[in-house]
């Protein structure tokens, strides 16, 4: 299974990238780091710079059809930058249009709001996104992890890094099912 991890060139919360990545590798699947620019992305530990990671695929040359599932790590700056990028929004929409599963944690649902992918769905996120999700037609819940099976695509969401174990277990189950 090829799993896209969509991140901006700067601002992804490192642990929200690395722990799901390890989970995908542990399942024997193929994670691919997808970004809007080639080279390396700069991860953060909250507001402090952390590691850098090589980009495997650049948006524009790849669509949702190239992958089986999508993981959207959070961080505040990461989804904020991605939701302003039309290609990133279209890439994300493609997973829903193709009925491929998506997992998003923390602030990542901001990109889902921009992609008009929360309407009629129930999801969780970092609490400050609750109003944005409601305004976009979704239902926000305060849960460690929430799985929404609304058609056309399954959506797995979590609130924060403390929820990573539950998040990874849930998306592995849904992606593998």
Q: Which of 46, 62, 107, 168 is catalytic?
A: 107
Q: Is 148 a catalytic residue?
A: no
Q: Which of 46, 106, 146, 149 is catalytic?
A: 106
How many CB atoms within 10 Å of residue 177? 7
Q: What is the end-to-end Cα distance of the chain in Å, rounded? A: 12
Residues noted as catalytic: 106-107
């Amino acid at each position: 299974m090829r799993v896209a991890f969509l991140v901006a060139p700067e601002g992804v919360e490192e642990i929200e990238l690395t722990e799901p990545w390890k989970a995908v590798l542990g399942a024997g699947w193929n994670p691919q780091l997808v970004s809007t620019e080639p080279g390396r992305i700069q991860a953060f530990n909250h507001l402090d710079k952390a590691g850098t990671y090589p980009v495997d695929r650049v948006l524009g040359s790849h669509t949702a059809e190239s992958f089986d599932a999508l993981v959207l790590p959070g961080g505040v700056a990461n989804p904020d930058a991605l939701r302003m990028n039309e290609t990133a929004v279209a890439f994300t929409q493609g997973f829903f249009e193709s009925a491929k599963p998506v997992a998003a944690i923390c602030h990542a649902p901001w990109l889902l709001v921009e992609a008009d992918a929360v309407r009629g769905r129930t999801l969780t996120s970092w609490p400050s996104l609750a109003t944005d999700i409601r305004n976009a037609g979704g239902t926000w819940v305060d849960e460690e992890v929430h799985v929404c099976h609304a058609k056309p695509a399954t959506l797995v969401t979590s609130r924060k890094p403390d929820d990573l174990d539950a998040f990874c277990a849930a998306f592995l189950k849904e992606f593998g099912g």
